[in-house]
Amino acid sequence: MTMVLKELQESVRVVWQTPVLWVTGIVAGLLGAVLWIMLNLSGTFFTSRLVIIAGLVMVLFVAGTFGLLKKNEKGAGTMVREGARYYFRVLLPWLVIFFMLMLVFVVIMTVMMIFSQGSTDYEAAGLCAIFFMVPTVFMAFFCDTAAVFEDLRVFASIRQSIVTVSRNTWKVLGFYVTCCVLSFIDFFVVAIIWEGLLFDKLEPLTHYNETQLAAFTPDQLVTMIGPDGMWVTALIIFLGVVFLVPILLTYKATFYQSLTKESPAATVQQMTGEFDSKGRWYKY
């Protein structure tokens, strides 16, 4: 646990001394605010398309952040170059994991339909999918950092993440807990600011009984706060994301570097070579 907190302190120091890292947080905050506004103005259909575009844009800045930290530089040009260089190395492992989880979900749905004679319990299927998703994400979470810091390709980076996590399970668990605590603190602070700014509009909620609160929907909340509240909420989303994203990304990178330094044997060496006509492997 000491290492987990030590790397968190180091991450805060690095972010404070490297202003360009805030660019990733600013971009993430702007995208989050835009998605919130478009959700209220255009609905879920159009916003769901924008989510994909926003995710692809963020990959560039995430890769740039990791590349910048790898080179230990502070220039915006380095971030852009490294982001372009490692863009697909960061993107592809997560795409592989995503489609693998989708395949698992399809298999679960198919099996359940066969055994239930056409009817499907979607709640049970969702629980089964979560059962596979959580450990998969837990083990493969550092695939993007491995891809950048170890210069590994898709499957090698996923394998490296699994090896690293399996050899440092308790430390990684502490890392996840710390990230959750940071996210909760960030959410709690911005929620208090949000409630303070919209107190007049939210005041009627204090007179609701338990039944009314239980039946209260997000759509009703949006209607209650009105257009002004929508813009205030967008600003709060921006502020919350701006402060959280750079710290979490830097924390992830510094923590991964610390793990690989302590367990150098866990590093997966990516070999290049070819098979001959008899199936024998020749390493270059």
pLDDT average, residue stretch 216-243 = 91
258 CB neighbour count, 10 Å cutoff: 18
Query: With 70 as the cut, is the pLDDT of residue 274 above it?
Result: no
Buried-exposed string 165-198: b where 16+ CB fall within 10 A, e elsewhere = beebeebbebbeebbeebeeebeeebeeebeebb
CA 51 to chain centroid, in Å, comes to 13
Q: What is the pLDDT of residue 106?
A: 83
Give every CB contact of residue 278 below 8 A, 6+ residues apart in sequence: none
| β-pair partners for 274 | 282
Query: With 70 as the cut, is the pLDDT of residue 126 above it?
Result: yes
Q: What is the pLDDT of residue 124?
A: 74
Are residues 76 and 23 in contact, defined by beta-carbon separation less than 8 angstroms?
yes
| Sequence letter at residue 261 | K
Are residues 83 and 21 in contact, defined by beta-carbon separation less than 8 angstroms?
no
Rounded Cα–Cα distance for residues 168 and 176 (Å): 12
Residue 32 is encoded by which pair of tokens? 């989050």
Are residues 50 and 281 in contact, defined by beta-carbon separation less than 8 angstroms?
no
Which residue would you say has higher pLDDT here, 26 or 107?
A: 26
| Average pLDDT for the chain | 87
Q: What is the pLDDT of residue 123?
A: 74
Alpha helices for the chain (secondary structure H): 2-17, 22-42, 44-71, 76-85, 87-115, 122-140, 143-149, 154-167, 169-197, 199-202, 210-215, 218-262
What does residue 120 show for φ and ψ, rounded to 5 degrees?
A: -125, 130
Which residue would you say has higher pLDDT here, 23 or 45?
A: 23
In this predicted model, what pLDDT tens digit does every residue of 187-212 receive, in sequence order? 999 999 999 999 888 888 888 888 88
| Sequence letter at residue 211 | T
Rounded Cα–Cα distance for residues 256 and 179 (Å): 14
In this predicted model, what pLDDT tens digit does every residue of 145-172 receive, in sequence order? 999 999 999 999 999 999 999 999 999 9
Rounded Cα–Cα distance for residues 141 and 165 (Å): 9
What global pTM score does this model have?
Answer: 0.86
Query: With 70 as the cut, is the pLDDT of residue 266 above it?
Result: no
Query: Of 12-21, 89-98, 128-137, which range is least confident?
Result: 128-137
In this predicted model, what pLDDT tens digit does every residue of 56-103 receive, in sequence order? 999 999 999 999 999 988 888 999 999 999 999 999 999 999 999 888
Q: How many residues does the chain have?
A: 284
